[in-house]
Structure 1
Amino acid sequence: MFSASAVYANDHTVHVGGQGHTHKAEAKGAAQAEMADGEIRKINKNTGKITVKHGEIKSVEMPPMTMVFGVADKAMLEGLKEGDKVKFNVKLEGSNYTVTEIKKAQ
């Protein structure tokens, strides 16, 4: 469990389209997390992975990019398809970013 006052530094490099992005993640309570905006690029329901082109994810201090995320529960992917605009929350677990909540944008 993360404390809202705890800060965990993590240099996490993501390679998308040959570019490396490094950013520091800050753990925040779920109640404080503002949902990020994104667009689904790819879904793999078998592996529970989703590729999202997203704006800034403030809860983990991640700049806009396209990235593959695991999901906390594969059932979250039901009803979603490539091209859907979504709002979602991400949690840093070790060195992995996991989508903890996702819904179609209104």
Structure 2
Amino acid sequence: MKRYLLIATLCLAVPAYGQQAASDHSGHSPAPAKAKAQSALADGEVRKVDRDAKKITLRHGPIPSLDMPPMTMVYQVKDPVLLDRVKVGDKVKFDAEKVGSNYAITRIESAK
């Protein structure tokens, strides 16, 4: 009789122990998002600068961070001061990000 009681106890205890170990972690908060990794800057050439509209037209190579092929495209600039650093014909390195359904230049510098 003691043997059956021991086996029954083990049969109930082992699955309960396993269930506790396989918790779904629903009480845990998600890990904080990591800061945007420093991505490689894309190469481009300034084709047009529109300070009034806060836009710049760039002919650029591929932008891997945005999965974008080479093209000529008009971008908004996140900070209008960025437009003071460039002029038509300049070779530049830049970073862009998707903002809603558009793209915005977040950093631009001379390619040197």
Q: Same fold (TM over 0.5)?
A: yes
Question: Corresponding residue for 1:71?
Answer: 77
Q: Does residue 52 of the first structure (1) align with residue 58 of the second (2)? A: yes
Which protein has the larger Cα radius of gyration, Structure 1 or Structure 2?
2
What CA distance in whole angstroms lies between the structure 1 residues aligned with 2:61 and 2:48?
A: 16
Answer yes or no: is 1:41 the counterpart of 2:47: yes
Q: Identify, as 1 or 2, the structure richer in helix.
A: 2
The partner residue of 2:97 within 91, 96, 100 is 91
* Consecutive aligned runs of 4 or more in structure 1 exceeding 6 Å deviation: none
8 Å contact kept, 2:85–2:109: no
Q: Which has the higher strand share?
A: 1
Aligned residues: 80
Answering whether residue 111 of structure 2 is matched by residue 105 of structure 1, we say yes
Q: Which letter does structure 1 place at the counterpart of 2:44?
A: G
Identity of aligned residues (%): 49
Coordinate RMSD, CA, aligned: 1.5
